[in-house]
Structure 1
Amino acid sequence: MANAPDDQNQPGTDIPPTPLLDRDSNLRGYKLNKMAMSLGAPESRQAFKADEDAYLRRFGLDDATRAAVAARDWHEMVRLGGNLFFILKISAVDPVPITSIGAAQAGMSHEDFLKERLGK
Structure 2
Amino acid sequence: MTTPNPIPDTPLFDRKGSIRGYRMNKMAMALGNPANRKAFLEDEEAYLDRFGLTAEEKTAVMARDWHEMVRLGGNLFFILKISAVDPVPITQIGAAQAGMEHGAFLAQRLGKV
Q: What range is the shorter-chain TM-score in?
A: over 0.9
Aligned to 2:70: 78
Q: Counterpart of 1:13 in structure 2: which amino acid?
A: P
Q: 2:4 aligns with which of 8, 13, 24?
A: 13
Report how far residue 12 of structure 1 moved.
1.9
Deviations 1:9-58 (A, max 9, x none): xx823211100111111000000000000000111000000000000000
Aligned to 1:88: 80
| Residue ranges of structure 1 left out of the alignment (5+ in a row) | 1-10
- Quote the Cα distance in structure 1 between the aligned partners of 2:13 and 2:86: 25
* Larger Rg belongs to: 1
Aligned to 2:37: 45
- Quote the Cα distance in structure 1 between the aligned partners of 2:87 and 2:3: 36
Give TM-score scaled by structure 2 length.
0.95
| Residue ranges of structure 2 left out of the alignment (5+ in a row) | none
In the comparison of the two structures, how many residue pairs are matched?
A: 110
Q: Is 1:35 matched with 2:58?
A: no
- Quote the Cα distance in structure 2 between the aligned partners of 1:113 and 1:13: 28
Aligned to 2:50: 58
Q: Which runs of 4+ in 1 moved over 3 A?
A: none
Percent of aligned positions that are identical:
69
Q: Is 1:69 matched with 2:61?
A: yes
